[in-house]
Amino acid sequence: MAGRWPQAVLFDLDGTLVDSAPDIHAALNETLASYGEPPFTLEAVTRMVGRGVPVLIERAWEGLGKSIDPAERERVVARFLAIYEPRATELTTLTAGASEATRALVDAGTPIGVVTNKPEAATREILSHFGLSELMQVVVGGDAGPAKKPEPGLLLLACERLGLAVGQVVFVGDSENDVAAAKAAGMAVVVLRGGYTSIAADALGADAVVDRLDALGDVVSTLRPASA
């Protein structure tokens, strides 16, 4: 049980490592326009992000006051992704301290990875654009197989790929989905303030809250490994 803590740090993507809402907003509005529907504001779309693309589309249709059946939703998801994937890095920026935090962990010999509800192709595109791909030991997207966050499956899959027990890993996210997924997995969780959630960061029930990702190193060392 003794040894390095943590043995790995996993990061959520949207609202945590990157501020991707502006590109998601643009792609969603282009998708809506193709159906003759009106646009949403950036703020409204930011609140729709975090549960994966099918839920994004459901929430958009809900915002339009319209119902959407599963087959139609899948067609809209495909159209959205065809628009989003080629332009996923046009307006997206790294969050403050993301480069420094990821680099510091890797330089200290701690493996890092990404666990996001975003599909893996767009995730890899974004990571590569920001020079983060080579730092990541594992990248698990929302289409990896298991149910998306707030279910624990994507986090468990990342641990399996790393060959680590969940109790030795810390997850860093921005929303209630991340906290719920980590708790269900039995993993310590840190929340970054200012991400994509309408719930106050301090009210999410995380083990710790940080204002910037480069404060992560100090905070993580104060946490304890979760017992298996």
Ligand X SMILES: O=C(O)COP(=O)(O)O
Catalytic residue annotation: 12
Is residue 174 part of an annotated ligand binding site?
Answer: yes
Q: Which does 51 bind (CB under 5 to 8 A by kind): Mg ion, ligand X, none?
A: ligand X
User: CB of residue 185 vs ligand X: minimum separation in angstroms?
Assistant: 14
In the bound state with Mg ion, the residue whose beta carbon lies nearer, of 58 and 178, is 178
CB of 5 to ligand X, least distance (A): 25
CA 17, 87, 49, 82 torsion-angle sign: negative
Amino acid at 41: T
Please state, in angstroms and rounded to a whole number, the distance separating the CA atoms of residues 60 and 54: 10
- From residue 142 to residue 181, the character string flagging contacts with Mg ion as x (rule: CB under 5 A) and all else as - is --------------------------------x-------
**Which residues of the shown chain bind ligand X in the complex (CB under 6 A)?**
12-15, 49-53, 116-118, 149
12 known ligand binder: yes
For residue 118, the partner it binds in Mg ion, ligand X, none, with Cβ less than 5 to 8 A by kind, is ligand X
d(CA 212, CA 204): 17
Query: What's the DSSP call for residue 140?
Result: E
DSSP string, 153-216: HHHHHHHHHHT--GGGEEEEESSHHHHHHHHHHT-EEEEETTSS-SS-GGGS--SEEESSGGGH
Closer residue to ligand X in complex, CB, 77/225: 77
Decide which of Mg ion, ligand X, none touches 52; Cβ closer than 5 to 8 Å per partner kind: ligand X
How far is the first Cα of the chain from the last one, in angstroms, to the nearest whole number? 10
Stretch that binds Mg ion, among 46-54, 61-69, 131-139, 161-169 (CB under 5 A): 46-54
The three-state secondary structure class of 144 is: coil
Contacts of residue 214, defined as CB under 8 A and 6 or more positions apart, other chains included, come to 96, 97, 100, 101, 104
Least distance CB 149 / ligand X (angstroms): 6
Report, in Å, the least distance between residue 111 CB and ligand X: 19
Residues in the annotated binding site for Mg(2+): 12, 14, 174
Residues in the annotated binding site: 12, 14, 174
